[in-house]
Amino acid sequence: MSHTSSLNTSAFMAELMAKNPAEPEFHQAVHEVVESLDHFLDENPKYKHARILERITEPERVIMFRVPWVNDKGEMRVNRGYRIEMNSAIGPYKGGLRFHPTVNLGILKFLAFEQVFKNSLTTLPMGGGKGGSDFDPKGKSDNEVMRFCQSFMTELYRHIGPNTDVPAGDIGVGGREIGFLYGQYKRIVNEFTGVLTGKGLNWGGSLIRPEATGYGNVYFAQEMLNTLGESFNGKTVLVSGSGNVAQFTVEKVNDLGGKVVTLSDSSGYIYDPDGISPEKLKYVMFLKNNKRGRIKEYADKYGVKYVEGQRPWGEKGDIALPSATQNEINETEAITLVGNGCKCVSEGANMPSTPEAIEIFIDKGILFGPGKAANAGGVAVSGLEMAQNSMRLNWTREEVDKRLQLIMHSIHKTCCQYGTKDNGFINYVDGANIGGFVKVADAMMAQGAV
């Protein structure tokens, strides 16, 4: 816990940690929010009297279940499945499914908690949820992934629905997995409804949904840069990750005249001083999405530097867009980034910066866009997919992209409204946390003891 914690915050956190032991990521996510809210709650005691903090940190429902499946050798396997239905005050539970060996209850509770605030910021009527499994799709055949997804949905279907809970993708869950999950849901329920988002284009998906998180993060960073009269044009950009978010981040940065010089995966990172051109990006998409290979192969193909076992934050860049996973920028890396002249960090991943790293960014007064604001474009377009499903209509690419840009603009505005300090500095962390909180808290107050 940071030394700046007030007595209020410390007491609240002590109780939360005792009640939710061994969930460090959940503690981290809650701590950041309660610190941002500390002063605001003193000024608005109605939320304290209504015990909103105590309620908003308690999931409405947690579902944990067995996922048995049979591998290609005919052997029985078992994983654990989860769905955290965190908050439905402003709409049906909404949030992705993560399939990764690191998944556990604490990780999914942190993600579900963040999702509540993120979804509130999008301006769309979506509550917050998250789910997934410790299943590792890496190295599994398509048939194994299909059998796993079918088994997972055979339990999950009874808890979700287009007006109840609408899952989507996250790490390890992309178009292939959403297809298998959707097919199984439809067989069991005998209904063609918008129960998942991130669907294929010809069976209910939305244009721009694959691009949305990466594009949205670049739009958000652009809004932040605008406040200083700056833009992406001519800037060197560090991106981590190499999956869906990272790929479309590179595409949009290229469109705006910037140059992305890094990408990574859990084994290491590549550094390409000439920049990842649209043509090289096509190769990355083939490598990751079709071949399901490792980023090292990029270095082999283009003869650039590959650094095993490291993250890209030691390289020089004007802007950093972390797009891999939680806690991927620590204090030392934050100091290096800022020391190397980085002026803007915008989070494409969920909680990629540690609390110590965030403190560095804020102390140094650089532009720092927290994930729950900066990466909200993904779930925002999921909300637009739900809207199109309800109308049984499809919007054009231009229409969805325009709405995405408007939503990112509005999220930025909300952050400024709640996060601008007396000296004019915009603390986007406080802005996103308070802005996301108010709408949900007011809805909970209006709905009584919920």
Q: Which stretch binds ligand GLU (CB under 6 A): 90-98, 257-265, 285-293, 392-400?
A: 90-98
Residue (261 or 381) nearer to ligand GLU, CB? 381
Q: Where is 78: in which H helix or E strand?
A: strand 76-87
Residue 95 Cβ vs ligand GLU, minimum distance, rounded to whole Å: 5
Residue 120 makes contact with ligand GLU by CB under 6 A: no
394: helix, strand or coil = coil
Among 53, 84, 168, 324, binds ligand GLU (CB under 6 A): 168
- x/- track of binding to ligand GLU for residues 403-442 (CB under 6 A): ----------------------------------------
User: Interface with ligand GLU includes 217 (CB under 6 A)?
Assistant: no
Look at strands 268-271 and 305-308 and give their pairing: antiparallel
Question: φ, ψ for residue 160 (rounded to 5)?
Answer: -120, 175
Contact call for residue 379 and ligand GLU (CB under 6 A): yes
Q: Are 136 and 207 in contact (CB under 8 A)?
A: no
Q: Which is nearer to ligand GLU, 112 or 295 (CB)?
A: 112
316 is catalytic: no
Residues binding ligand GLU: number (CB under 6 A): 11
List 174, 378, 431, 436, residue binding ligand GLU (CB under 6 A): 378
45 vs 48: CA distance, rounded Å: 5
By beta-carbon proximity to ligand GLU, the closer residue of 12 and 110 is: 110
User: End-to-end alpha-carbon separation of the chain, Å?
Assistant: 29
Rounded Cα gap, residues 388 and 404, in angstroms: 14
Nearest distance in Å: CB 3, ligand GLU: 30
DSSP 9: H
Shortest distance, CB of residue 118 to ligand GLU, whole angstroms? 6
For residue 197, state whether it binds ligand GLU (rule: CB under 6 A).
yes
Show the tokens assigned to 167.
């899952």
Does 132 engage in binding with ligand GLU (CB under 6 A)?
A: no
Neighbours of 92 (CB within 10 A): 19
Judge whether 115 is annotated as a binding position. yes
Amino acid sitting at position 350: N
Contact status, residue 184 vs residue 341, Cβ threshold 8 Å: no
Is 244 a known ligand-binding residue?
Answer: yes
9 vs 120 by CB, closer to ligand GLU: 120
CA distances from 109 to 29, 112, 130, 320 (A): 9, 5, 7, 26
Residue 94 labelled as part of a binding site = yes
What's the rounded Cα separation, in Å, for the pair 322 and 349?
6
- In whole angstroms, the minimum distance from the beta carbon of 197 to ligand GLU comes to 5
67: how many CB neighbours lie within 10 A of its CB?
22
Task: Choose the binding region for ligand GLU from 79-87, 89-97, 155-163, 439-447 (rule: CB under 6 A).
Answer: 89-97
Partners of 306 in the beta sheet?
Answer: 270
Report the alpha-carbon distance of residue 121 to residue 445 in Å, rounded: 18
Among 27, 31, 83, 94, binds ligand GLU (CB under 6 A): 94
CA distance 304 to 311: 16
Catalytic residue selected from 109, 130, 288, 372: 130
135-137-139 Cα angle (round to 5): 125
213 is in an annotated binding site: yes
Query: By CB under 6 A, what part of segment 344-373 binds ligand GLU?
Result: 350
The residues near 328 (Cβ < 8 Å, ≥ 6 apart) are 240, 311, 322, 349, 352, 353
How many CB atoms are located within 10 Å of the residue 54 CB?
13
The least distance separating ligand GLU from the CB of residue 350, rounded to whole angstroms, comes to: 5
Candidate residues 59, 81, 91, 95; the one interacting with ligand GLU per rule CB under 6 A: 95
The answer to whether 301 is annotated as binding is: no
Q: Own/partner pairs for 138-141, CB < 8 Å, 24+ apart? A: 138/292, 140/71, 141/72
Instruction: For the CB of residue 348, give the shortest distance to ligand GLU in the complex, in Å.
Output: 10
Say how far apart CA 152 and CA 137 lie, in whole Å.
13
Closest contact distance (angstroms) between CB of 130 and ligand GLU is 8
Catalytic residue numbers, as ranges:
130
Residues lying near ligand GLU in the complex (CB under 6 A) = 94-96, 118, 168, 170, 197, 350, 378-379, 382
Residue positions in the annotated binding site for substrate? 94, 115, 118, 169, 382
Residue positions in the annotated binding site? 94, 115, 118, 169, 213, 244, 382
Residue positions in the annotated binding site for NAD(+)? 213, 244
